[in-house]
A and B are shown apart, each in its own frame.
Chain A
Amino acid sequence: MSLSIPSAVINWDILNEIISMDEDEPSFSKELIIQYIDQVDTTFAEMEHHLHTTKDLSQLDSLGHFLKGSSAALGLQRIAWVCERIQNLGRKAENTFPDQTDILNTLPKGVSLTEEELKKCNGDDNDEVTSQDVEDGENTIYIALISKALRQARLEFRLARNALSEYYKTEL
């Protein structure tokens, strides 16, 4: 599948609209971002939960949709893209997910993650392992793909946080 993922981590056209509202409500955008970060953490955990326990694709679908909405609204288009993949995988509307390196290659020059960050995102739980129980059902392949997508989402999230931290000159 061709990588239609947007190159830039942040679509500033969109984010700037939000930032422009700081005029009326100071630090509106920053608080919103912080709120978003919390939301992402929560949602990722939720996804993780479903991946490992319920394996409920429709839940993953909605979670993907949910996170896609806020990510896109903030201009975090790469995360939104990955979330859309998760959503579609949850609906079984797609059945592939590109490799991590391919996706990371689409990043603009100068944007990258450190080894440490990569490791951290990919790290702890090796979701690849979950593909063991293929026999559990036809959903397994989707679960595996979503796991893969989720790792990618974490990477993208890290990238976005880095970019946002840079913008706000704070560690977010």
Chain B
Amino acid sequence: MSTNKNPLLSSITSKKKLWLRIDNCTDEINEPISITFDDNDSVDDLKEKILKELSSTRWRQFNDKASIALGYYEYNDTPTKVQRRRTSSPPVSQSQQKLKFQSGPFQSNDKITLQQPIPTSKSNMSLTSNMLSPENTETSPRRALSTSPQVPVSSTNIPLLRFHSASPSINIRSKSQRHKARHNHKHNNSNNHYYPSPTGSSFPSSSSSSSLSSQYHHHTRTAININNNDSHRHSNPASLYAYNHHHNHNYTFHPKNIHNNSYSRPLNRTPELQTDHPISRVIFDPEEKIIAIYTELFGPMGSQHSSDPLFIFSNQLENPTPKEEEEEREEEDLKEKSVDTVEPTINNNEDNEIVYGDESDQNSRNTPFNDNEDEVEQGKNFVNIHDTEARDYELITNEEQLRRVSETMVGGADNNPDTPKQAILLLPKGYHSDVSFKEKTVPPTPTPTPRAEVETEHTLVSPLDNNDTFDDSSPIQQHPLMEQEVGLLHPMLENEWRKTGLLSPISPLMAGSITPHYSNSYSNLSHDALLSGITTTSEKVFPKINVLIVEDNVINQAILGSFLRKHKISYKVAKNGKEAVDIWKEGGLHLIFMDLQLPVLSGIEAARQIRAFEKENGIGIQEHSNSLKKNKTKAPVIIVALTASNSQDDKRNALISGCNDYLTKPVNLHWLSKKITEWGCMQALIDFDSWKQGQSRMTDSVIAKSPHKINPKVNKSTASIFNSMDKDESKVYSNSNNGSNNKIHEKHKSVPSIIVDTNYRE
């Protein structure tokens, strides 16, 4: 679903357009898209266009402006490497810095084909991310990923990996980082609690349920990225660290105009440090003019072909799992090949990156490049993981070492602006890679293939929260995103973001607001809000809906009621079909659990009557919405029948009578919660306004994680909400309907505790 735009449509026009493809896209279809741009458009502008263009895609759901970056892959191929990867591509000049675009390559199973060397000088690409970014998002189908060394990494990666994959662009050049950093910034500023906190996988620190985390992945990433802002370059190590992991080197192009790279600090380029990395991601600075990028990379307008799109690097990750294995296999292959063909070219300085993993906490995120001691991570232990092996990175776990390293980096780097910089990659606490660090290290081979590098990247782990060492023994910990869970949280969180206005990824505000203190805000955010948010399990998150239990047996009422109270779902109880219909008429109900065999009026009959009333009153039909009571739920109520164990007749009759679904009794609470989630979410979507009213209450309780027991107070509050929602109608109702039923209802409202009704046999 990601980007299915037909490239052909736009390709021919004379307008200025840019071909883009989403990198590392997991969707099957991922064709390049073309986006038109104006002369004045910057990379950021282009990103907005991209997002707009892809607004209907699933990819878009996982990405916002902050989470994507534009760039391309640069192949620093030495001839040998080229061979390694793919024989077909003409050997690029040896200088690492030559850029090539890989457009088609990803898609094709062939090893990466390098296309269009970038005109820019070998030294730093003059282009900053801005240039390229404006329009394009690069998408490379997963397939592509698998084929290209770098890509595999990302694809293989779990959220964390993703992270990397997404981040890779950020890597070496500070600018690229900064690009991301900004986004992060925005996020930080918002301090949005709802913002996905790093999930456990991505951020080890959070115990979070994996499911939640997955959704938030991109968010976490972004947050991390924030640190990278150039402006703040001192402060944000974390993102850098993360990026460093990717051995892929991302170079940002600094357009000539933009030369003020405060961000990019040259990393030390000791020969050791730099290995050759055949492929680097080059990310454009957000401020860069697209037109400039285009010219730089492709030449005159119209020179770019859809076959060599720029890439949109995003955080999106879906379950990469299945493909991992493939990739790994490929990696293996590559390794072998590489061993044969590659000579120890280890010396290429630029490729090597030092990774500082901070194991302690937020602090670690602050320091990467910076000279600033303040920002230096605290309490990290420095560990050089690969003593004997080619050093693709170093792991820093304490402050002292970090400082040392950063100083070195700073000292050496500035001199040569053109060369790619080393970066510090901050790893989140409790970071777990899918590969254990020690076990999978880069093969002794002098120049590991890109894939191999990738693998090592994965292995880096620095848990932020604990001083824990990596979990060497820990097997792959992947937390693929569960669709279901996504559905669960998504509406809420999104909604909350919008509501609070904290997060509007696309909004200009975010772009503009870069706070120097982001690091603090970030840490606060992550620890207080994000983590807590993440740690909540999906089980505890239920849509805020009003439920009616129709059940004649007090025992079952009590059980269902207790379950709903436990999950802070407001509910009413009716003990026969007639009561059910009457209560339904009061309005405000989203979901009815209807026992079928009931005294007075059976559940079947009650369902039938309710549907008849709905039809009569135009509920669920927009045109008629005025005709009835205003407060009434305009969407038809969902009726879930509670059927006797195996009675097919019951089930059939229930559905015929207008029930939407059924549960068999005795009701399995697990299934009950599923139904509530399923139907409740649906109702929340359908009837957003009324659902929204209860939203804050619910999320508060969830996020506050206050495990307060359900006590009368809580119940009262829910009851009051309930009452407020339909007070008008309930008045009407109570006036019009006399009788015991109403009394019972009132009782339920005010005292939601278990209703012990000894008159069950009425």
| Chain A residues near B (Cβ < 8 Å) | 14, 17-18, 21, 24-25, 28, 31-32, 35-36, 39, 46, 62, 65-66, 69-70, 72-75, 80
A31 to B554, CA, bound (A): 12
Across-interface contacts of A36 in B (CB, < 8 A): 555
A2 to B553, CA, bound (A): 30
Q: How far is the CB of A63 from chain B (nearest CB, A)?
A: 8
Across-interface contacts of A21 in B (CB, < 8 A): 559, 562-563, 566
A73 close to B665 (CB less than 8 A)? yes
A66 close to B710 (CB less than 8 A)? no
A25 to B752, CA, bound (A): 13
Q: How far is the CB of B657 from chain A (nearest CB, A)?
A: 18
B669 close to A17 (CB less than 8 A)? yes
B669 close to A73 (CB less than 8 A)? no
Q: Give 6 new A-B contacts, CB below 8 A, not counting A18-B559, A74-B559.
A: A39-B554, A66-B760, A73-B666, A73-B667, A74-B555, A74-B666
A32 close to B555 (CB less than 8 A)? yes
A35 close to B756 (CB less than 8 A)? yes
Across-interface contacts of A24 in B (CB, < 8 A): 562, 565-566, 709-710
Q: List, sorted by A's number, 7 A–B pairs whose CB atoms are closer than 8 Å.
A: A17-B668, A18-B559, A62-B597, A69-B556, A70-B555, A70-B556, A73-B553
| Chain B residues near A (Cβ < 8 Å) | 551-556, 558-559, 562-563, 565-566, 595, 597, 599, 644-645, 665-669, 709-710, 754, 756, 760-761
A-side binding surface: helix, strand, loop or mixed?
helix
Q: How far is the CB of B196 from chain A (nearest CB, A)?
A: 27
Partner of A70, one of B553, B644, B754: B553
Partner of B555, one of A17, A39, A46: A39
Across-interface contacts of B760 in A (CB, < 8 A): 39, 66
A73 close to B709 (CB less than 8 A)? no
A32 close to B558 (CB less than 8 A)? yes
A46 to B595, CA, bound (A): 22
A72 close to B665 (CB less than 8 A)? yes
Across-interface contacts of A31 in B (CB, < 8 A): 754
Given contacts A66-B553, A73-B555, contact A14 B562 (CB under 8 A): no
Across-interface contacts of B668 in A (CB, < 8 A): 14, 17
Q: How far is the CB of B601 from chain A (nearest CB, A)?
A: 14
Q: How far is the CB of A31 from chain B (nearest CB, A)?
A: 8
Q: How far is the CB of B594 from chain A (nearest CB, A)?
A: 13
Across-interface contacts of B666 in A (CB, < 8 A): 14, 69, 72-75, 80
B599 close to A62 (CB less than 8 A)? yes
Q: What 10 A-B pairs have minimum CB-CB distances, sorted nearest first? A: A70-B555, A72-B666, A73-B666, A70-B553, A69-B553, A21-B562, A24-B566, A17-B669, A73-B556, A24-B709
Across-interface contacts of B563 in A (CB, < 8 A): 21
A25 close to B553 (CB less than 8 A)? no
B665 close to A69 (CB less than 8 A)? yes
Q: How far is the CB of B711 from chain A (nearest CB, A)?
A: 9
A36 to B557, CA, bound (A): 12
Across-interface contacts of A75 in B (CB, < 8 A): 666
A66 close to B665 (CB less than 8 A)? no
A28 to B556, CA, bound (A): 13
B710 close to A35 (CB less than 8 A)? no
Q: How far is the CB of A14 from chain B (nearest CB, A)?
A: 6
A133 to B665, CA, bound (A): 37
Given contacts A65-B597, A73-B667, contact A25 B562 (CB under 8 A): yes
A28 to B597, CA, bound (A): 26
Q: How far is the CB of B695 from chain A (nearest CB, A)?
A: 22
Q: How far is the CB of B144 from chain A (nearest CB, A)?
A: 48
Across-interface contacts of B667 in A (CB, < 8 A): 73
Across-interface contacts of B645 in A (CB, < 8 A): 72
Across-interface contacts of A80 in B (CB, < 8 A): 666
Across-interface contacts of B595 in A (CB, < 8 A): 69
Across-interface contacts of B556 in A (CB, < 8 A): 69-70, 73
Nearest to B672 among chain A residues (CB) is A17
Q: How far is the CB of A40 from chain B (nearest CB, A)?
A: 10
Nearest to B552 among chain A residues (CB) is A66
Nearest to A14 among chain B residues (CB) is B666
Q: How far is the CB of A53 from chain B (nearest CB, A)?
A: 16
Q: How far is the CB of A49 from chain B (nearest CB, A)?
A: 11
Across-interface contacts of B669 in A (CB, < 8 A): 17
Across-interface contacts of A14 in B (CB, < 8 A): 666, 668
Q: How far is the CB of B55 from chain A (nearest CB, A)?
A: 42
Across-interface contacts of B710 in A (CB, < 8 A): 24-25
B761 close to A46 (CB less than 8 A)? yes
Q: How far is the CB of A139 from chain B (nearest CB, A)?
A: 21
B558 close to A35 (CB less than 8 A)? yes
Across-interface contacts of A35 in B (CB, < 8 A): 554-555, 558, 756
Nearest to A77 among chain B residues (CB) is B666
A70 to B566, CA, bound (A): 20
Nearest to B645 among chain A residues (CB) is A72
A62 to B596, CA, bound (A): 12
A32 to B557, CA, bound (A): 10
A77 to B271, CA, bound (A): 74
Partner of B559, one of A39, A46, A62, A73: A73
A32 close to B559 (CB less than 8 A)? yes
Q: How far is the CB of B344 from chain A (nearest CB, A)?
A: 61
B562 close to A28 (CB less than 8 A)? yes
Across-interface contacts of B558 in A (CB, < 8 A): 32, 35
A35 to B556, CA, bound (A): 11
Nearest to A74 among chain B residues (CB) is B555
Across-interface contacts of A32 in B (CB, < 8 A): 555, 558-559, 754
A137 to B84, CA, bound (A): 94
A66 to B644, CA, bound (A): 11
A25 close to B709 (CB less than 8 A)? yes
Across-interface contacts of B665 in A (CB, < 8 A): 69, 72-73
A36 to B756, CA, bound (A): 11
Q: How far is the CB of A75 from chain B (nearest CB, A)?
A: 8
Q: How far is the CB of A89 from chain B (nearest CB, A)?
A: 16
Of B551, B565, B666, B761, most buried by chain A (CB within 10 Å of CB) is B666
A62 to B563, CA, bound (A): 26
Of A14, A35, A46, A66, most buried by chain B (CB within 10 Å of CB) is A66
Across-interface contacts of A28 in B (CB, < 8 A): 562, 754
Q: How far is the CB of B299 from chain A (nearest CB, A)?
A: 68
Nearest to A75 among chain B residues (CB) is B666
Nearest to B556 among chain A residues (CB) is A73
A25 to B665, CA, bound (A): 23
A69 to B667, CA, bound (A): 10
A25 close to B756 (CB less than 8 A)? no
A60 to B552, CA, bound (A): 16
Q: How far is the CB of A34 from chain B (nearest CB, A)?
A: 10
A31 to B562, CA, bound (A): 12
Q: How far is the CB of A83 from chain B (nearest CB, A)?
A: 11
Nearest to A13 among chain B residues (CB) is B668
A69 to B761, CA, bound (A): 14
Across-interface contacts of A25 in B (CB, < 8 A): 562, 565-566, 709-710
Nearest to A33 among chain B residues (CB) is B555
Q: How far is the CB of B670 from chain A (nearest CB, A)?
A: 8
A80 to B556, CA, bound (A): 13
A24 to B708, CA, bound (A): 8
Across-interface contacts of A66 in B (CB, < 8 A): 552-553, 760-761
A36 to B551, CA, bound (A): 15
Q: How far is the CB of B713 from chain A (nearest CB, A)?
A: 14
Across-interface contacts of B644 in A (CB, < 8 A): 65
Across-interface contacts of A74 in B (CB, < 8 A): 555, 559, 666
A157 to B379, CA, bound (A): 64
Across-interface contacts of A70 in B (CB, < 8 A): 553-556
